[in-house]
Structure 1
Amino acid sequence: MRVLKFGGTSVANAERFLRVADILESNARQGQVATVLSAPAKITNHLVAMIEKTIGGQDALPNISDAERIFAELLQGLAEAQPGFPLVQLKAFVEQEFAQIKHVLHGISLLGQCPDSINAALICRGEKLSIAIMAGLLEARGHHVTVIDPVEKLLAVGHYLESTVDIAESTRRIAASKIPSDPYDPDGGFTAGNEKGELVVLGRNGSDYSAAVLAACLRADCCEIWTDVDGVYTCDPRQVPDARLLKSMSYQEAMELSYFGAKVLHPRTISPIAQFQIPCLIKNTGNPQAPGTLIGASTDEDGLPVKGISNLNNMAMFSVSGPGMKGMVGMAARVFAAMSRNGISVVLITQSSSEYSISFCVPQGDCLRARRALEEEFYLELKEELLEPLSIQERLAVISVVGDGMRTLRGISAKFFAALARANINIVAIAQGSSERSISVVVDNDDATTGVRVVHQMLFNTDQVIELFLIGVGGVGGALLEQVKRQQEWLKKKHIDLRVCGIANSKALLTNVHGLNLENWQAELNEAKEPFNLGASDPSGERVSPAEPGDCRLYLEPGGCRSVRGLPARRLPCGHTEQKGQHLVDGLLSPAASGGEQIASQVPVRYQRGGGAAGYRKPAEPAERGRRTATFLRHSLRFAVLYFR
């Protein structure tokens, strides 16, 4: 028995539904398959918006119409692609479900509120419809299908909107029901039933948890999570284009990474399968041939001491301190009991060895409730000045480095902190788990993406990455691009990754964080529609002096405003533009070739007045026209800006 879970993006339209059916058929040839399906992409968000708008007296009809359209297009597409698809029956079923949704929304509008039990029953309708559609599709292909009702078979305890499954009792229920040995057993993700037989949900994005629970109850051979990426990466590829795909990781590593913000898995997914030593395979619905990432008891195919870097943004840190903390038994317990009573999740905890203060992080959205809870709990202590006024720092982020190998390998923490220091990123707080497989730091929210990038560069990349932004592509600039194009492959063999990530002339701007294709940059620049303006004036309001014809300046950003070795602006000797281009390449690469330190930057747009050496100073907020350029530069690891006039 294998349990396969497919997320919302995997069943977003008819084409993807058909692909999922193909994957199920392929797996069913090897044995019985149980399937957990999410609602099609955007459906659950629409359902939540319907409830919120109805409570607020707003019109929910646009969301209803969009959701109905998604299902109508889905059914029509499947009917056209699959002979025998039960379009009429499923269309009637969808219409019936939406009629019930509208009826319930009318009741909510009269009440002006939505009880949690009703909320749970509404937001899971997308999963219910996904299961019905998939069952119809598989039956149209001639397969026998048994639909498992999670409300009957899975017992959950807790809140209507955030329940936890009782695996022991659920296992007994499933065993007693004697599910037929049909090759396909679809199950709606994200739902279960309580002791009263009422429907409850397992939390938003809880379909992963549903699959893990079902795998545990069935004692499955494997639990497969099918999503829209090839597996688990060393960090979010959207933040770091060079993120590596991991072949394997342990249960503990996966649990730590998901808890600290990795999006591939729901944080509660690992516990049920780890309890019964069931391997979990992360696969890509759009690329079934990819091997994916295997999560198991002890797997280290990658040979990496650190398996991943993750970050949680939009956090707030509270510090409770004062003489009343020292030597007083139970103060920490009171702090966290106050958070628990108010349903506030504590992400990170750190305490001074003197017992004078204790600090912890909570989601930014819970900041006000957390403050009120602490002020109520410690009202007398604050009044009598046994405790200092609460210290609250907002707009923070938690960056975590995770890996089983950190327990035995020295120097990981040193590299972690050194990378942040070189990027001029201040560390607000530090915490390390007793297992020694993770270490976390708290930084400013604006530094999170840069922090993840520079730490990843330090821990995972052996190549020296230099990202080039070229302003002016005339004779010398064009020659430089030609030289870079010729030498890129050779440089990679020397572990120097030179990327041209931005090109601009007086009319247009062309950027790509992964590096531009230098084979057709001229055509792409000519077609670029975004205007570029180096700045009619610098941030102080002064006019920028143009450089003299033939003059070129090389700017190497040394990580914020720190004074680090860089390349000075230089006037090139007279000669052929090809020689000038090669001269620039040689100069640009000299620090990297000589083993210069890796430089991380958090760079706004820089302006250079003609006639002087390159100056490093942090300007005010860039003009709107240059905002995209500023954002682009801000996330660079090491960035050179060349300006030709």
Structure 2
Amino acid sequence: MRVLKFGGTSVADAQRVINVSEIAINTSIQVQTALVLSAPAGVTNILVSMLKSALAGSDCKNEFNALDQIIRPLITNLSAQYPKFEGEKVLAFYEDIVSELQRRVSGITLLGSCPDPVAAYIECRGEALSIAIMSELLRAREQQVQVIDPVEILVCDGKFLESSVDIEASIERFKRLTIDPKAIVLMSGFCGGNRQGQLVLLGRNGSDYSAACLAAVSKAQCCEIWTDVDGVYSCDPRAVPDAVLLRRMSYKEAMELSYFGAKVLHPRTITPIAQYRIPCLIKNTLNPQGEGTLISEETDRNLITKGISDLKNVSMINVSGPGMKGMVGMAGRLFSCISRANVSIVLITQSSSEYSITFCVHSEDAFAARSAIEEEFKLELNAHLLDPIEIQDKKAIISVVGEGMRTAKGVSSKFFRALAQANINVNAIAQGSSERSISAVIDGSKVSEAVFSCHTAFFSGRQIIDLIIVGVGGVGSALLKQIEKQRDELKKRNGIEIRVICVANSTSFVKDPVGLKIEQVETMLKGSQNGPFTIEEAKRLVDDSHLVNPVFVDCTSSDSIALSYLELMQAGYHVVTPNKKANTNSYEYYTGLRNIAQKCRRKFYYEATVGAGLPVINTLQNLLAAGDRLIEFNGIMSGTLSYIFGLLDEGKSLSQATKDAYERGYSEPNPRDDLEGMDVARKLLILARECGYKLDLSDIEVECPVDVKYLEGNNAQEVLENLKGADEEFAKKVELAKQEGKVLRYVATIKDGGKCSCGIKAVGPEDPLFKVVGGENALSFTSAYYQPIPLVIRGYGAGTEVTAAGVFSDILRLQNWTREA
């Protein structure tokens, strides 16, 4: 015999009931088949609501109407499709049930209470209807049917609403039955009978449990659980779209997964089939040809871990105190009193110092557990041998499960690094002696992030980077275009999925938790009514959208946003920016950024702040980490000034060269910002701080190329006009340098000891900066390792495309960090 169980969604409407009958008929051709059916989807909830309403004094008219809207169309539609389907007979059975329900509801309303036997009867009427409908449909399709009563077969112990099946006693009952070998056997799920022959319920997931028990007592060759998913997945596919379908798993793996929250099977379902070594196949009613998941003694050895499960609505209870150390029988008393309170313990961990014992219970049991502990240890609490009982609510347990974990190394480290990468704090840890699972207690609000991050670490080659881009001027717009151009290629070749979650300009923002369509961002921003983007909105975005690897990309020159990086990293963001304001703020803020990044396990990347797309910061950091020491630095660090001074070599005047740079878009909107030299000073300060010098911007000696009076003006045109006054004087400097065989360059310098300056310098052909023109940057590092010939980094250091490329490169470095974690 094969036992096939079908859940509520599988019998939700006429077509699905027909699908079930088709599966049953096809199976019965090969082997005797038994069906265990749940109530049609939604019916049990209606019946439970009916009980509550009756206790509140209602006549339950709404519930009866809701029930009628499900059952009556189901019956009439089957009658229309199958002429031999005796719809009137089934409707009469349904109306009898409704009459009985009305009678019992009236009694509950009058009494103001509901005895458990009555509640049990009412709650399982949906299963009785499923059996009546299915048996008639199978007969209409010319199949022999035998209906067996679970009250007469499954011997149960326990409460009326939550009983367990005595398999040995049920086997003896089943032996007395005469099963027609040609018939399809039908049995209601969710219920059984106590030793007095009274109907009782099997509690949560009772229909699955019923099927497993029937398979055990009938010595079935297989138990099939038919549901609305293709089988058991590595995690909830609704939460993680690329969840992996597991082809095979062991009973013990299934038990661990289900115990810690996997929805496909309940632990009680696995126990009977594991005890009698009956394979269990999980299949999809809507995809009967699918392979499904086979649960048996064997497992898939190719997968070390089988799944990530989570158990929500958990409370963590901590019992601690100075009197616990060496207190003989402490744990025994603690767990005995919890047992007497009828509270189930989900997870236990104890500190090695014996100072505390921590355990988790379902949140609805937390108050009962506290009361039981306070009563048991009243004397110890009064004597302050124990601290007040501590309960932390709104917790969840996330577990990684797999048979292969017993022999594989590094599973624990991968698990906890995945949680750390998602910025999730672990409250408690437990690992069973079987080594098939590792569990961590975390905040309940972080479950989605935890599951996603752990699943990525163990199962998925896909790496998701979620971007919040603030500032869509030149650099921001270029970055969006580069992402759009390269996104598909990155996903195809490297498994990197870049999602732009939010884009903001100075007046508004647009967002989409699953990713914006980049080509529509500009239009969407114009029509957005959201108002200015705020740091509080950025924090909400992480929490509400459960972003695992969020990156805040600041493409502005804003001081206020730069001063918010601390908050952003504490909220879970990595920060990538070409904005120099954060790294050139006070030295305290500079060091604070690095401390917070380390503490929060976030990354702060700012390569584009110095050399745009040139690998300056990363190169310098690697050299210093390898033990190198800076002796001297000289560099051309402004692409705009590089371009202007190059034109001076060709004979143009300063004002002409500056106007040319402005008209080509190489300069800032106001060229004064380039000619003042402060942009170069900020870049120089960043490099000096990277080398370990504790400097502020005021410590940098800055020479303005011309007298500041020539830079006065309210806009670019006025500045360019005033600049003509400096042409004659500046031309003399150019000519003097030329006579010496040299050229003028605006050079930033760091001397050994940390003296920093930037200003005009005449350099000869032997200097690496001599030929640097046309917007190039060149940075010359003389160090302990690189002398007497310095290390020179040279290339274009200006322009939105190059700067955006530098930012993009930093973003992709975060993907590498994710994989390492």
Q: Per the shorter chain, which TM-score range?
A: 0.7 to 0.9
Q: Secondary structure at the match of 2:361?
A: strand
Compare 181-190 and 323-332 and name the one that shifted more: 323-332
Q: Deviations over 1:219-244 (max 9, x none)?
A: 11111111111111111122222221
**Distance apart, 1:3 and its partner CA:** 0.9
**Distance apart, 1:412 and its partner CA:** 0.8
Q: Within 5 Å, which residues of 2 pair with 1:365-514?
A: 365-468=364-467, 484=483, 487-500=486-499, 502=501, 511=512, 513=514
Rate the CA distance shift 1:537–1:466 in 2: closer, same or farther, 3 A: closer
State the distance in 2 between where 1:25 and 1:468 align: 53
**Distance apart, 1:588 and its partner CA:** 2.5
Q: Within 5 Å, which residues of 2 pair with 1:351-366?
A: 351-366=350-365
Which is richer in helix? 2
1:597 aligns with 2:817: yes
Q: Please say if residues 315 and 362 of structure 2, whose CA atoms lie closer than 8 Å, have aligned partners that are also in contact.
A: yes
The structure number with the bigger radius of gyration is: 2
State the distance in 2 between where 1:144 and 1:583 align: 76
Q: Please say if residues 310 and 452 of structure 1, whose CA atoms lie closer than 8 Å, have aligned partners that are also in contact.
A: yes
Q: Secondary structure at the match of 2:268?
A: coil
State the distance in 2 between where 1:499 and 1:350 align: 39
1:178 aligns with 2:178: yes
Rate the CA distance shift 1:503–1:388 in 2: closer, same or farther, 3 A: closer
Give the residue type in structure 2 aligned to 1:467. Answer: D
Give the residue type in structure 2 aligned to 1:592. Answer: L
Q: Deviations over 1:100-121 (max 9, x none)?
A: 1111111111222211111111
Compare 502-511 and 370-379 and name the one that shifted more: 502-511
Q: Within 5 Å, which residues of 2 pair with 1:14-29?
A: 14-29=14-29
State the distance in 2 between where 1:489 and 1:158 align: 58
**Distance apart, 1:589 and its partner CA:** 4.9
Higher relative contact order (CA 8 A, sep 6+): 1
Give the residue type in structure 1 aligned to 2:124. Answer: C
State the distance in 2 between where 1:24 and 1:61 align: 36
1:533 aligns with 2:753: no
**Distance apart, 1:440 and its partner CA:** 0.8
State the distance in 1 between where 2:806 and 2:282 align: 44
Rate the CA distance shift 1:48–1:587 in 2: closer, same or farther, 3 A: same
Q: Please say if residues 508 and 531 of structure 1, whose CA atoms lie closer than 8 Å, have aligned partners that are also in contact.
A: yes
- The equivalent residue for 1:153 is 153
State the distance in 2 between where 1:540 and 1:181 align: 66
Q: Please say if residues 472 and 503 of structure 1, whose CA atoms lie closer than 8 Å, have aligned partners that are also in contact.
A: no
Rate the CA distance shift 1:482–1:139 in 2: closer, same or farther, 3 A: farther
**Distance apart, 1:567 and its partner CA:** 4.4
Q: Please say if residues 248 and 300 of structure 2, whose CA atoms lie closer than 8 Å, have aligned partners that are also in contact.
A: yes
- The equivalent residue for 1:286 is 286
Q: Secondary structure at the match of 2:497?
A: strand
Given candidates 560, 563, 572, the residue that maps to 1:560 is 572
State the distance in 1 between where 2:474 and 2:65 align: 56
**Distance apart, 1:453 and its partner CA:** 1.5
- The equivalent residue for 1:344 is 343
Give the residue type in structure 2 aligned to 1:565. Answer: K
**Distance apart, 1:267 and its partner CA:** 1.8
Q: Please say if residues 161 and 202 of structure 2, whose CA atoms lie closer than 8 Å, have aligned partners that are also in contact.
A: yes
State the distance in 1 between where 2:511 and 2:455 align: 26
State the distance in 1 between where 2:47 and 2:537 align: 49
Rate the CA distance shift 1:509–1:104 in 2: closer, same or farther, 3 A: farther
**Distance apart, 1:73 and its partner CA:** 1.8
State the distance in 2 between where 1:124 and 1:531 align: 52
1:128 aligns with 2:128: yes
- The equivalent residue for 1:51 is 51
Q: Deviations over 1:129-160 (max 9, x none)?
A: 11111111111111111111100111111111
Rate the CA distance shift 1:6–1:587 in 2: closer, same or farther, 3 A: same
State the distance in 1 between where 2:178 and 2:517 align: 59
Give the residue type in structure 2 aligned to 1:203. Answer: G
Q: Please say if residues 466 and 496 of structure 1, whose CA atoms lie closer than 8 Å, have aligned partners that are also in contact.
A: no
Q: Please say if residues 419 and 454 of structure 1, whose CA atoms lie closer than 8 Å, have aligned partners that are also in contact.
A: yes
Q: Within 5 Å, which residues of 2 pair with 1:542-553?
A: none
Q: Deviations over 1:618-638 (max 9, x none)?
A: xxxxxxxxxxxxxxxxxxx9x
Give the residue type in structure 2 aligned to 1:327. Answer: G
- The equivalent residue for 1:609 is none
State the distance in 1 between where 2:801 and 2:498 align: 16
- The equivalent residue for 2:97 is 97
**Distance apart, 1:388 and its partner CA:** 1.9
State the distance in 2 between where 1:336 and 1:224 align: 37
What's the TM-score, normalizing by structure 2?
0.66
Rate the CA distance shift 1:597–1:106 in 2: closer, same or farther, 3 A: same
**Distance apart, 1:204 and its partner CA:** 2.2
- The equivalent residue for 2:270 is 270
**Distance apart, 1:596 and its partner CA:** 2.7
What's the TM-score, normalizing by structure 1?
0.83
Q: Please say if residues 341 and 372 of structure 2, whose CA atoms lie closer than 8 Å, have aligned partners that are also in contact.
A: yes
Q: Please say if residues 422 and 599 of structure 1, whose CA atoms lie closer than 8 Å, have aligned partners that are also in contact.
A: no
- The equivalent residue for 2:207 is 207
**Distance apart, 1:566 and its partner CA:** 4.1
Q: Among the aligned pairs, what percent are the same residue? A: 49
Alignment RMSD, CA only? 3.5
State the distance in 2 between where 1:450 and 1:594 align: 17
Compare 483-492 and 260-269 and name the one that shifted more: 483-492
State the distance in 2 between where 1:184 and 1:368 align: 48
Rate the CA distance shift 1:517–1:537 in 2: closer, same or farther, 3 A: closer
State the distance in 2 between where 1:80 and 1:582 align: 70
**Distance apart, 1:420 and its partner CA:** 1.7
**Distance apart, 1:245 and its partner CA:** 1.2
Compare 591-600 and 104-113 and name the one that shifted more: 591-600
Q: Deviations over 1:38-97 (max 9, x none)?
A: 111111111111112222334532122111211112112222233322211111111110
**Distance apart, 1:477 and its partner CA:** 7.8
**Distance apart, 1:328 and its partner CA:** 3.1
State the distance in 2 between where 1:298 and 1:575 align: 68
State the distance in 2 between where 1:473 and 1:221 align: 64
**Distance apart, 1:126 and its partner CA:** 0.5
- The equivalent residue for 1:192 is 192
Q: Please say if residues 477 and 581 of structure 1, whose CA atoms lie closer than 8 Å, have aligned partners that are also in contact.
A: no
**Distance apart, 1:465 and its partner CA:** 2.2
- The equivalent residue for 2:246 is 246
Give the residue type in structure 2 aligned to 1:535. Answer: P
Q: Please say if residues 476 and 804 of structure 2, whose CA atoms lie closer than 8 Å, have aligned partners that are also in contact.
A: no
- The equivalent residue for 1:140 is 140
Q: Secondary structure at the match of 2:313?
A: strand
Rate the CA distance shift 1:384–1:98 in 2: closer, same or farther, 3 A: same
State the distance in 2 between where 1:221 and 1:318 align: 44
Unaligned 5+ segments in structure 1 are 601-636, 638-645
Unaligned 5+ segments in structure 2 are 539-553, 574-595, 614-638, 640-663, 667-798
1:75 aligns with 2:75: yes
Rate the CA distance shift 1:436–1:381 in 2: closer, same or farther, 3 A: same
Q: Please say if residues 509 and 531 of structure 2, whose CA atoms lie closer than 8 Å, have aligned partners that are also in contact.
A: no
Give the residue type in structure 2 aligned to 1:597. Answer: W
